[in-house]
Copies of this chain bind each other. A is one copy, B any other.
Amino acid sequence: MMRKESSVNLENEKTLEAECPFIFALSLMGKRWKPAILWKMTEGICRFGEMKRAIPQISEKMLAQHLRELETDGLITRTVYPEMPPRVEYALTELGLSLQPILKQLNDWGENTKKIKNIA
């Protein structure tokens, strides 16, 4: 079984992904649930079940898949404690943490936009 979980593909160097910083950023954190996972994790160290509850729309399968990719791409760390029952903790790396201000602003933008649109 091979291990190729990163969502980044830079094999054809001339693609926009390789050239454009914006597309590159999206390739690291732009997939469906990744921003939400990262946003949740800015609160601090998280466990699997905790994130599942925090983002109820995501399936376990997708959560696991996204966590692997984020780990491979160096945005989060995964620490397994060999206990019974097992405990696994996810935390942002320095790189992941550097996204926090951007995620915060996006959250603020959402809040303002809800007001403008008179939702909630």
- Write the residues of chain A forming the contact surface with B, with a CB cutoff of 8 angstroms: 10, 15-26, 28, 30, 32, 35-36, 39, 55-57, 74, 95, 98-99, 101-103, 105-114, 116-117, 119-120
Contacts and interface: CB of A to CB of B under 8 A. Distances in A.
Copy number of this protein in the oligomer? 2
Given A16-B56, A56-B16, A57-B15, A106 B25 contact: yes
A58 to B, nearest CB: 10
Given A10-B119, A15-B57, A95-B116, 15 more contacts: A16-B56, A16-B57, A18-B120, A21-B108, A21-B110, A21-B114, A22-B107, A23-B55, A25-B109, A25-B113, A26-B35, A26-B106, A26-B110, A98-B109, A102-B109
Contacts of A101: 105
Q: In the complex, which of the residues A74, A101, A120 has the most CB atoms of chain B within 10 Å of its own CB atom?
A: A120
Chain A residues touching B, majority SS: helix
Given A36-B23, A56-B16, A28 B113 contact: yes
